[in-house]
Chain A
Amino acid sequence: MTRLLMRTLFAFCCAAAFSAHAQLTIEIIGGGATTIPIAIVPFAGESNYPLGVSGIVGADLSRSGLFRLVDPGGVVPRPARAEDVRYGDWTGRGADAVVVGSMVALPDGRTEVRFTLLDAVKQAQLASFSYVVPPAQFRATAHRIADVIYEKLTGDVGVFSTRIAYVAKQGTRYELLVADADGYNPQSIVTSKEPLLSPEWSPDGTRIAYVSMENRKPVVYVQSLTTGARQLVANFRGSNSAPSWSPDGSKLAVTLSKDGSSQIYLIGADGGNAQRLSTSAGIDTEATFAPDGRSILFTSDRGGSPQIYRLTLGGGAVERMTYDGNYNVSPRFLPDGKGFVFVRRDSGRLNVALQDFATRQVQILTQGSLDESPSVAPNGKLILYASEVGGRGILAAVSSDGRVKQRLTATASDVREPAWGPLQK
């Protein structure tokens, strides 16, 4: 209820009414094989604030599909500190972990948010932090707390504090937006009457490269998220598309058709000369850098059908990676560099799949009919992609083991072209 209220409130506050329509709502469709039962006790003093923190922490964790929230109701008095916790109260309710905390107003208008994560079974403290923040930072603080809990209990880095970019289309209007990973706080980056696509975050999360057709052809822009200033990076004769950042953020791999067919080039992130990377008589596109920057994956039809290839930079050796099927496209490296996700077409259906470099084993992760544009979370555990339900473009997420599924929809827009931003530094 408060969530709904806040969302409505947010819609009013939001500068652009359109952006509010393009806000995503996340629905969980499947859960992990095992879920960690966790009790999140409402923080002491939290009721003094219209927007609490513990509820957002709980929503983050349960949305991940890896946690099950244990109802803390009935435990009186509510513990707010580790020393107040009677472990039996929680193991008796089936909770393996307990989170307690408090919110205390400071004279300067800021608030001290404290939390402690406890292992109820081992009766041990796992983490305890405090943050002094203005009310505008409550959501961000909740995401940070959820990240700590997620990492302590799963061993993987949490991505609740990250952001995502996506394109919303309403009628003939296109808007590139950036929002928190939970869909809140959508900010308009650019709007256009012509298509916008292929947003890609710079590795430091301060810039986004994207393709715009506003000049009656595809060209590549890089836009600063801090100043809003944008730069035309690739506008050569023909088409300019498919930007991918080098891991150091200094260069982009782009697809240019200036020399006769769509080929992959390396260009400075500020523009400048383009250095050709791939050489084929056919189509080479959709480059994506390996996390170590030493190679790229890309899509090519050099073998007669679109397949994924790996090009080692410097040496120039090219190796074909996919063989099954006649349409394997849109590769994206996993952050550990051990595999990649891509889109496979089989019997007319397009689905997101994952391939391991060492074993070459392929796992099909999604079951839609038109799943495309996969983007991997910076912890490698979730893959965001575009899908379609009832003719509407939606975003969806699937865990890298295929078990957890989420659906992200916007009320009045088609949403597509998701890009998961990097971890906050």
Chain B
Amino acid sequence: MTGTMDCATARLALLEEQRGRLDGETSSALAAHLHECDACARDDAAERLLTEQLERQLPQRAAPLALKRRLAAQWPTPVAVAARRWPSRRWLAAAAVLALVVLGTWGWWSMRGRPETLAAEAVNDHLRVLARVERLDVPSGNMHVVRPWLTGRLDFAPVVPFVGDADFPLRGGAIEHFLDRRAAIAVYERRLHVITLLVARPDGLPWPAPGRPLTTRVRGFNVRLWQANDLGYALVSDLDATELGQLAARLGG
């Protein structure tokens, strides 16, 4: 045993430290122990190396397209439910469509005033990114390649203060629609997790006030919204909130 933490406790804490889940006091005690204990420091190096190799090398197999089609067909969609409930007369269908358009427009206008709407739309964008993550518009880990490409296709210059690092490597960029406007997308990774950063013009939308970021959870995804550089930012992932916060801090949010 060295310091205030014994080797057995330190070994169990190594992974939690890797995941950023240790509180400050325990993290400091572990760091002190690793500084003094060569055996545990080596074990820490091996554990980090193992995680890195698992994340980089372990083959990831995607579900076959045929399976995805079967699954999609298995789910009742809202449209299908509606079709079963309404008679098939044309005038009734037309009236229903008209009502949906009117109600949908009214609902959209009333909902767009709430930050929750932004978070929900950011999750939708994230899902679209996930669906084409292997086919991003700019599949590059170099922000100096991604940003100029994005700038040339938007009516604003996206400011992305973080170019990626070993913890959160940049995977690429893309353009997505965000409500009524186009948005720049930067995609980062953390282990096997995909993280979507969305940057859009904030005018007319209820982004949190500058310096007052909002963290929320939508449909199982963690979402962080903030406003800076006269732009609106949304960060979305299934990554846990602590690690997402670490990336947000690098991005100035």
Q: Do A and B interact? A: no
Which residue numbers of A lie inside 8 Å of B, CB to CB?
none
Which residue numbers of B lie inside 8 Å of A, CB to CB?
none
